[in-house]
Structure formats: structure tokens, C-alpha cells
Amino acid sequence: MQRDWIGCAADNFSCIQNGAVVDVDSEVMNGGAFIAKKIEAENDDNNDNNDAQNEVEGILFKVDDATHFELVVLDELSATNNVALGNPVVITLTNPQFQVDANGLNVPSALQGTFEGATDTSQLMPGQDVQIQSSSGGSSMGSPITMTTNRVRLRPTQFTANVSGAPAPPNFTVANLPGLFTSAGVSSILVQTSSQTNFQGGVGISSLADQNQVSLRGLLFKNGSDAPILIADKVRRR
């Protein structure tokens, strides 16, 4: 079993603490048992402000301006005042630190450096999955719900699309994207694969062809005026 416990040299179940939020990749065996392949602490450094409170994860659906964007909450990593799953939240950046949760992926240094060097919303786009830690002790009630953050962490995005054109290993392009992307003017995404990419439902990129439907998971980056880039963690041919 592969385990990813940041800052835990024991590399065993002693790393799990009561109340910790974890992300588990697992497989279902023939007898119905779940076998964990990877375990990662979701809120491993929730002591950024020595407080394990007020962390949420969500899908970004709108960038308003240089210091504001909006997301839909998918998960509460810890108790967050006035926020529930499915809530849209307006996020205000204040002296933000941008991070990439590579989760073992080899992210090109240019992409990671550009994202982590951002000081505003210039590297954010609809469809990205991000983790937010409140810098103001929670969120405000009202419509819309608002939250101020000093940390934005990029997490793996998941979506389904169609292969567009013949793959050029190790990469391929997808189109027929979900409306979250197309409504923001994104018509295609370049998918970059590597030896770390877990292909499911096929033998690898050589098994893909134009118009195949694929479900994808990976880190999504803006790429200037070119198509966004997904560093693929998983690719499943439907």
C-alpha cells in the first residue's frame, strides 16, 4: 500500500489521528472489501494559523476580478461557520499564498512556479478544484456568503470529456467539455500524461482514439492564451 502522510516518518497507521480528514484511493476486491492504495492527509498543515478550523474545498466557477472569485463548496475539511456543502461562496484574497498539492505528480516547474508565484486571481479559472483556509475566522452570513483567505491550494479536478483528434503521446486533447468550462470560453484542454498516470479501462494512451469519452482527474492549470493544461493523475476510457 502506498501512503502519503506529509511530515509523518512512521509511514503506517500511527499517522492517523482522531478527527483527521483523509483522502483515500481504494480498489474493491472480489469479496467486496476495499483495499487502500493511497492515503493522504487533506488538512495536514491546518496549523498554518495554528487553528484547525475554517477550511473548505470547492469547485471554482467564476473569477470576478483580481481579488475575488466564487466557488461551490464540495467539502468542509473542518468546521466552518455559516457554510454548508453546496453553498456558493465569494472568496476575497488578502496577501494570498498559492500552493499546488502535487500528490506525487511531477508537475512541470514552469506551471507550478507560475501558479505558486501568483499574487491575485490571474492563475485561477473555472473548473479548478481549490482548498481555501479562512484568514478571518470563518465566513459571513448573508447572500452571498463571503470568506476571506490568505491561502489557495490547487487540488485535483475531475471531469468527463471527449478525445479530440489523434493523441500525440504522451499527450492528447479533449473537447466537448462540461458547461462549466465552455461558459468561460474554454473549448479544449491539453491532457499531459506520464508514467505516473493511472490508466483505467484501457492499456494506456495508445488505446485512445478521436471521440473516445474519457473521465479525467488531475491538476488543472491556466496556460496563458493557449488551452489550459491538465496534469493527469487518472484517465478512464468510458
Query: What are the tens digits of pLDDT across the range 86-142?
Result: 999 999 999 999 999 998 899 999 999 999 999 999 999 999 999 998 886 555 556
Domain boundaries, given as residue ranges, for the chain: 1-41, 55-155, 158-237
Write down the pTM of the prediction.
0.80
Choose the CATH number for 158-237 among 3.40.50.720, 2.60.120.260, 3.40.630.30, 2.40.50.140: 2.40.50.140
Cis-peptide into 170, omega within 30 deg? yes
| CA 206 to each of CA 93, 166, 168, 171: distance values in angstroms, whole numbers, following the listed order | 42, 10, 9, 10
Output the CATH code of domain 55-155. Answer: 2.40.50
Q: Do domains 55-155 and 158-237 have the same CATH topology?
A: yes
